[in-house]
Amino acid sequence: MKETAITFTKGAKNYVSDAVQVNSAEVGLQITFEKGGKLWVYISYDGENFSVAESRNYDQKFARPVVGCIPGQYLKIECETEPVKASIFESEE
């Protein structure tokens, strides 16, 4: 699997990632935090207009597939606490 690091910046209230374009329909998200909170996964077709795909609570580790991705889509993550490490994994097939 191909791993892509996700970078975050502190927004007005939460931490928001840069948009990442995915090249596979099989995508996984893995993030490590100092403490738990809530996160939102956003998707976009043009990299500018994002809508919420899902929201989840997390503890210090969050790992799950992102279901329904289409190659070429963009993902963006927003979370309440600062991530220690964050990656998107994509199938290389």
How much is the pLDDT for 92? 79
Helix-then-strand count for the chain, H and E: 0, 10
How much is the pLDDT for 3? 93
In 3D space, the residue among 93, 89, 77, 74 whose CA is nearest the CA of residue 27 turns out to be 89
pLDDT along the chain (93 residues), means of 10: 94 95 92 94 94 93 90 95 95 77
Please give the domain boundaries of the chain with CATH numbers for all domains.
2-90 (2.60.120.260)
Indicate yes or no: pTM above 0.85.
Answer: yes
How much is the pLDDT for 69? 86
How much is the pLDDT for 32? 96
